[in-house]
Amino acid sequence: MKRKIPVDTAQKYKIPTSLTDFQLSMYIHLIEWKWKYITTQPGKHGGRHYDAIIPKEFLEKGYPLYPPIIKEMEKHHFKKHKYFGHMASSQAACINLFTPILIQKDVAERILPKINRRFKSLATGYLEDGFQFEYWDESNPLNDHNDAAGTDSDIAIAYFDTNDELCLWLIEHKLTENEFTTCGGFRSKRNAKKELCKKGSSVLEDSMDCYYTYRCGYKYWEITNKSKLYNFSGHTGRCPFLGGENQLWRNQLLANAIQNKGVFKKVHFSVVHHPDNTDLQNTMNNYSHLLEDQSLFSSFPSREIITAAQLEDNEKIKIWAKWYSGLYRV
């Protein structure tokens, strides 16, 4: 739960006026790290200065990315998030977490099987040398991609599993967020039928009652009903995907749609999160209980990757693991 930050803290740091306890502790840590290793200058957003935002001149130098991968990232095509220059950017943290491993195939093939038991080898002939940030299928199977919106995965990793079958791993990364993205249809000012969203049985019985369907033409419910991914028996109350479960639902539907195209034998969806961020757990638990097959979704803390990396007999990886652990307090 967010609460107003203490007066003495507000006097020392230029930060938002209300944060969760975890967010506050991380913001202070990230700001102190920025002051020590980048600059003490604040960045600007909405006409205000914030200590956790990196000034433009330092963004142009590649921050907040891990310096040894800055050149590598020029090869990859992805759209930076609006707040990429924030020290708490989940997108930047995701790139910093996975890129150093994935650009060394042998390292990836030692570390990632400890997280995903089906992982055998990186499929470098697919995506961008085996992985891609902000991934979405360009055939637009959910019919929700446009210049302003659309479901994508923070990172997709192509791999061959223990049966030598080509598979895809979609991963959503969360750093300090206290919730996943909630339903945009319910939040829309154009939605004049929000009472239907609060009555879940209505949407479950007729998906045309969902704003995503009747107004946007998205295929979320069409895929949901065809896939039989979920068990809604006994569900009462509001739409099951009104809250943070909405983002997990959309990513799961993307995984299902990609798998049905047949290129990848299996497509799995995971969430990786900061080990001290417990705010997301209830939503993940609620979401998992909706699935008919709970093995289709998993979550793990970023510490598991760092711990595995620290055991590597590879000096570059050890240096990176120490850097990442120090920056993100893992």
Q: Which of 288, 278, 224, 273 minimizes the C-alpha distance to 253?
A: 224
* Beta strand pairing call for 18-19 and 48-50: unpaired
- Gap between the Cα atoms of 16 and 24, Å rounded: 9
By residue count, the chain amounts to 330
Q: Are the C-beta atoms of residues 81 and 91 closer than 8 Å to each other?
A: yes
Q: Are the C-beta atoms of residues 65 and 96 closer than 8 Å to each other?
A: yes
Cα torsion 48, 51, 54, 56: sign: positive
Predicted confidence (pLDDT) at residue 6 exceeds the cutoff of 90: yes
Beta strand residue intervals within the chain, DSSP E: 3-4, 18-19, 43-45, 48-50, 119-122, 131-135, 153-161, 166-174, 266-273, 297-301
Average of per-residue pLDDT across 24-33: 98
Q: What are the backbone angles phi and psi of residue 297, rounded to the nearest 5°?
A: -135, 140
Sequence-distant (≥ 6) Cβ neighbours of residue 170 within 8 angstroms:
135, 153, 155, 156, 251, 254, 255, 258, 267, 268, 269, 270
The string of DSSP letters for 233-272 reads TT--SS-TTSSTHHHHHHHHHHHHHHHHHSSSSEEEEEEE
Task: Write the pLDDT tens digit of every residue in 215-237.
Answer: 999 999 999 999 999 999 988 88
Note the pLDDT of residue 69: 98
Note the pLDDT of residue 225: 96
Query: pTM value?
Result: 0.96
The string of DSSP letters for 268-322 reads EEEEEE-TT--TTHHHHHHHHHHBSSGGGEEEEETHHHHHHHHT-S-HHHHHHHH
Q: What are the backbone angles phi and psi of residue 195, rounded to the nearest 5°?
A: -65, -25
Task: Write the pLDDT tens digit of every residue in 68-95.
Answer: 999 999 999 998 999 999 999 999 999 9
Q: Which of 326, 330, 288, 286 minimizes the C-alpha distance to 308?
A: 330
Q: Are the C-beta atoms of residues 157 and 113 closer than 8 Å to each other?
A: no
Average of per-residue pLDDT across 245-251: 98
Please tell me which residue, 201 or 204, carries the higher pLDDT value: 204
- Gap between the Cα atoms of 297 and 50, Å rounded: 36
Side chain identity, residue 271? V
Q: How much of the chain exceeds pLDDT 90, in percent?
A: 94
* Other CB atoms within 10 Å distance of the CB of residue 134: 18
Is residue 125 helix, strand or coil? Answer: coil
Q: What is the mean pLDDT of the chain?
A: 96
- Gap between the Cα atoms of 128 and 130, Å rounded: 5
Predicted confidence (pLDDT) at residue 99 exceeds the cutoff of 90: yes
Side chain identity, residue 123? A
Q: Are the C-beta atoms of residues 176 and 89 closer than 8 Å to each other?
A: no
Note the pLDDT of residue 234: 83
DSSP 8-state code for residue 175 = S
Note the pLDDT of residue 201: 86
- Gap between the Cα atoms of 289 and 231, Å rounded: 8
Token pair 């290129």 in the structure block, residue: 263
